[in-house]
Amino acid sequence: MSTSYTTAPGRVPGLGHALALMRGPLGFLTSLRSHGDLVRVDLGPMPSLFVTSPPLIHTLLTDRKDLLDKGRFYDKVRPLTGNGVIHAYGDEHRRQQAMIKPSFHRDEITRYVEVMREVTEEKTAGWRSGGQIPVDKAMRDITFNILARTMFGSVVDRAAHEELAGILPVVLEAIMWRTVSPGDLLEKLPLPMNRRFDKAFAELRDAISRVMLAYRRGAAEPGRAGMLAMLLAARDEETGKGMTDEELCNQIVSVTMAGSETAATAMAWLFYELARHPEIEERVRAETEEVVGDRDFTMADVGNLPYSRRVLQELMRVRQPILVISRRAVRDFPLGSGHVKAGTELFYSPYAVHRDPELFPDPLRFDPDRWLERPAAGLPKGAYTPFGAGPRHCIGEQFAWAMMHVVLGMIVRRWRLTLPDGVSVREMPWATVNPNHMPMTASAVRPRKPVACP
């Protein structure tokens, strides 16, 4: 790697910046912007470049797209997840994305909204006024069940959905652990953790195989087969061939990996911010009551809740769940004033960029109305990338926005969640930025006469 880049302070011989990252990853990552657009960070013996400039991040994700693969950290979990759309590169990625994209068409998401509604209602039915809710766990339960039901539809019964939703957190934990763990030694040892991970992956693949067999035997109710039916029907534009069972399983794992943990984490932080800002919560509730009232949420409502949309935009800025995204240069190429050599690992931090005070004044303030003053379109390219950018832009973005809208609206119109006195919630950075815990008190809300909300 060229030595012309600024090296981040805190480097220790032999360890690089590993100690600085372990001691305070959030502070370390947010400090890199002050050291330049391209900053060298050594992860143990592995020299890497962190891209901190929004325009260069945009260039990396769009103009240099064919010069990059996903990098070493994704290589580490490829044996578990297979070569699904998350890992595929170049023409293979484009082929897979074209086959999967119809599953996330607006018409399909319109049908998924019914599932989002059903799951949220079921999972909050047992809440009691005055009771304590572990909101981080509740949001995981809701999110994972929504994903299981939208993926598999009526092919399996509710018990099977719950089983799948129970396996997914272990699978995600395995993927995250192996992504961030140093070297390969730990994951090869016969540790209880590795046995648990391997067992969960085997159970998931077995469950997916059983679901595919049930679908082919006609187990799905008409119109409620879920995303699985779309994936089974998908055909390669050039060859006309569908996916093999292995490819289908890889895609299901990839879609699950891409959406579940980030969405669950974001939703937990959402209710934390609403508890800290009751005036914002009241505006969301007023808008929801005015637009939706007591009827069922629909996809049309998602586009008619402008204040709720700004709340969610601000959530994905100040509480961006994704700490770091990686790429790897497959060929030499220029980037900004520097030159990136083939094999270089590149990283950028959406979390850090979204908290840059030059881009977002008073960046830690949760202020949905900042998006009235300066919409996302008015920001430099690469400054706000909650779902990535370029050809690897998250294919499930509209699904995620719809799910957050439905879960938010359904909960706030019936419940107020508050933090008990003395409870402190801290950010726990890992593959995503999770809360250390989030016990909250639920209070039932009585419907009131709608109040106009700008």
Report for 41-45, 119-123, 191-195: range of highest mean pLDDT: 119-123
Per the structure, the count of domains in the chain is: 1
Residues facing residue 7 across a β-bridge: 40
Q: Enumerate residues 6+ apart whose C-beta is below 8 A from 69.
A: 89, 327, 328, 330
- Asked if the structure places residue 164 within a domain, the reply is yes
Segment 132-141, tens digit of pLDDT: 999 999 999 9
pLDDT above 70 covers a percentage of the chain that reads 90
Strands (E), 225-369: 325-329, 333-335, 338-340, 345-348
Q: Which domain holds residue 341?
A: 53-444
- Asked if the structure places residue 200 within a domain, the reply is yes
Q: Using pLDDT thresholds of 50, 70 and 90, give the confidence band for residue 181.
A: low
Least confident of 91-100, 218-227, 399-408: 218-227
Give me the pLDDT at residue 14, please. 79
- Asked if the structure places residue 238 within a domain, the reply is yes
Between 154 and 173, the more confident residue is: 173
**Cβ contact 187:194 at 8 Å:** yes
Least confident of 270-284, 379-393, 438-452: 438-452
Give me the pLDDT at residue 425, please. 97
Phi, psi of 376 (to 5 degrees): -55, -35
CATH number of the domain enclosing 356: 1.10.630.10
Q: How far are the Cα atoms of 80, 117, 143, 144, 212 from residue 259, in angstroms, in the given order?
A: 17, 18, 9, 9, 21
Between 308 and 203, the more confident residue is: 308
- Asked if the structure places residue 28 within a domain, the reply is no
> Closest Cα partner for 30 from 350, 397, 416, 339?
350
Q: Enumerate residues 6+ apart whose C-beta is below 8 A from 419.
A: 272, 275, 276, 425, 439, 440, 441
45: pLDDT strictly greater than 70 = no
Average pLDDT over residues 108-132: 96
Give me the pLDDT at residue 448, please. 64
Segment 354-384, tens digit of pLDDT: 999 999 999 999 999 999 988 888 899 999 9
220: pLDDT strictly greater than 60 = no
Give me the pLDDT at residue 449, please. 57
- Asked if the structure places residue 1 within a domain, the reply is no
311: pLDDT strictly greater than 90 = yes
Between 47 and 240, the more confident residue is: 240
Segment 400-448, tens digit of pLDDT: 999 999 999 999 999 999 999 999 999 998 778 999 999 999 999 987 6
Q: How far are the Cα atoms of 22, 237, 270, 294, 308 from residue 372, in angstroms, in the given order?
A: 37, 42, 19, 28, 13
- Asked if the structure places residue 13 within a domain, the reply is no
44: pLDDT strictly greater than 70 = no
Q: Using pLDDT thresholds of 50, 70 and 90, give the confidence band for residue 313.
A: very high
- Asked if the structure places residue 23 within a domain, the reply is no
Give me the pLDDT at residue 182, please. 57
Tell me the two tokens of residue 246. Answer: 């292995």
Between 326 and 73, the more confident residue is: 326
Query: What integer best gives the mean pLDDT of the chain?
Result: 87
- Asked if the structure places residue 98 within a domain, the reply is yes
Residue 349 exposure: Cα atoms within 13 Å on the Cβ side: 29
Give me the pLDDT at residue 3, please. 46
2: pLDDT strictly greater than 60 = no
Give me the pLDDT at residue 179, please. 62
Pairing of strands 433-435, 427-429: antiparallel
Average pLDDT over residues 321-346: 91
